[in-house]
Structure 1
Amino acid sequence: MKEELAICDTCANENCFIKKHIHLEQMKQYVAKKHSFVCKKSHQFIIEGAPLQGLYFICKGKVKTVKTGINGREQIVRLTKNGDTIGFRGFGTSKRYLIGAYALEDTVLCNFSNETMIEILKNVPEFTYDLMLFYADELNKSENNIRKIAHMNVRERVIDLLLYIHKKFGQTNGLIEIELSRKEIADFAGTTEEQAIRIISSLKKEALIKTVGKRIGLLSPSKLQSEIMEHKYF
């Protein structure tokens, strides 16, 4: 992977944990220890079960995190963008990564080692407090996802995913700003690729979405949202 200079002081990602605390004097020594690099599209930079190598923060790009399920099939558990944190599952409680991670496009990543992260958590209470709130929010999202799988049918799960990526990545010129294969959509929605293709085709015929290659655009987000409102998870 190619080394890349990513400067925290001029970073535009205000939602990044590091950027939010860069104004603190004690953070300067830790930022100086970070390692930044470019991960090319489709390349894996975290292997599930590999020894922990600290936390990753996305400077620029998009990443999918996955977990191995039944019969070795990878399930997408999270999609992330600029400023998001990768590798936090298991950090502090496990010596190995509980997820795998792939770049969905050429992505600039900043890595803080285990030792550096532990020093930050011990010495920067503002950072530790914010990270605690982040973990609480992620736990709530995980519990909601479990309920969704239990109560939503396949069409509803695909719609929920489309609304999720529309909200997270936004839409430009009528298309959501992320490119996912039909298999990736199926993996995230917990269904088969064939079912995902059929549902997307059905939503197109109903004039609720449009597609251009792998890209999808929502033509009527409100109608899609009303279809899953009874679950109250979105």
Structure 2
Amino acid sequence: MKEEQAICYSCANENCFIKKHLHLEQMKQYVQKKHSFVCKKTQQFIIEGAPIQGLYFICKGKVKTVKTGINGREQIVRLTKNGDTIGFRGFGTSKRYLIGAYALEDTVLCNFSNETMMEILQNVPEFTYALMLFYADELNKSENNIRKIAHMNVRERVIDLLLYIHRKFGQMNGLIDIELSRKEIADFAGTTEEQVIRVLSSLKKESLIKTVGKRIGILAIPKLQSEIMEHKYF
């Protein structure tokens, strides 16, 4: 991975934890200690079970986080973009990462070491409080995802995923602004690649979505939402 200069004070990611707290005088000393680098598309920068090397913040790009499931299959647990935080699962309670992470496109990452993060948490209460709320929100999302797998059928899980990535990444030129393979969709929806292909084919025939290569565009958001309305998850 190649070193990259990413300056926090000129960062455009207003939702980044670091950026949000730059107005605090204490933060000046900590942002000088970070390391930034470029992670190429498909490159893994967090290995599940490896010693924790602090937290990562996405300056620019997209990342998928995965966890090993039954029979060694990787399950996608989160998709992230500019300003998002990665590597927080296990931080502070475990000495090893509980997830793995791959770049979905060339991505600029900012890393704050374990030591720097602990100093921030101990000395910047406003940051610590915000991170606590973030953890609570992530726990709620995780519990909802567990219920989805239990109560939604395959078609509903795929629709739920399409609506999620549409909300998360938006659409450009009629296509959702993230490229996911059919296998990656299956890994996130908790199903098989073959079932995903069948569901997407059915949704295309019903004129609810369109596809261009790996990219997918949603044509009828209200109709897709109505299909999973009873679950109240979209």
TM-score category by the smaller chain?
over 0.9
| Aligned mates of 1:138, 1:210 — CA distance in 2 | 31
1:110-154 Cα shifts (integer Å, max 9, x gaps):
000000000000000000000000000000000000000000000
Over aligned residues, Cα RMSD in angstroms? 0.3
Q: Which runs of 4+ in 1 moved over 6 A?
A: none
CA positional deviation for 1:67: 0.1
Name stretches of at least 5 consecutive residues in structure 1 with no aligned partner.
none
| Aligned mates of 1:222, 1:115 — CA distance in 2 | 47
1:88-121 Cα shifts (integer Å, max 9, x gaps):
0000000000000000000000000000000000
CA positional deviation for 1:172: 0.9
1:40-86 Cα shifts (integer Å, max 9, x gaps):
00000000000000000000000000000000000000000000000
CA positional deviation for 1:181: 0.1
Aligned to 1:99: 99
CA positional deviation for 1:214: 0.2
| Aligned mates of 1:90, 1:202 — CA distance in 2 | 40
| Aligned mates of 1:132, 1:221 — CA distance in 2 | 33
| Aligned mates of 1:229, 1:143 — CA distance in 2 | 18
Alignment size in residue pairs: 234
| Aligned mates of 1:137, 1:70 — CA distance in 2 | 26
Q: Equivalent pairs: percent with the same residue?
A: 91
1:160-180 Cα shifts (integer Å, max 9, x gaps):
000000000000110000000
1:198-234 Cα shifts (integer Å, max 9, x gaps):
0000000000000000000000011001100100012
| Aligned mates of 1:226, 1:10 — CA distance in 2 | 42
| Aligned mates of 2:142, 2:83 — CA distance in 1 | 20
CA positional deviation for 1:11: 0.2
| Aligned mates of 2:142, 2:219 — CA distance in 1 | 28
| Aligned mates of 1:13, 1:148 — CA distance in 2 | 30
Secondary structure class of the residue paired with 2:13: coil
CA positional deviation for 1:23: 1.1
| Aligned mates of 2:7, 2:23 — CA distance in 1 | 13
| Aligned mates of 2:222, 2:175 — CA distance in 1 | 16
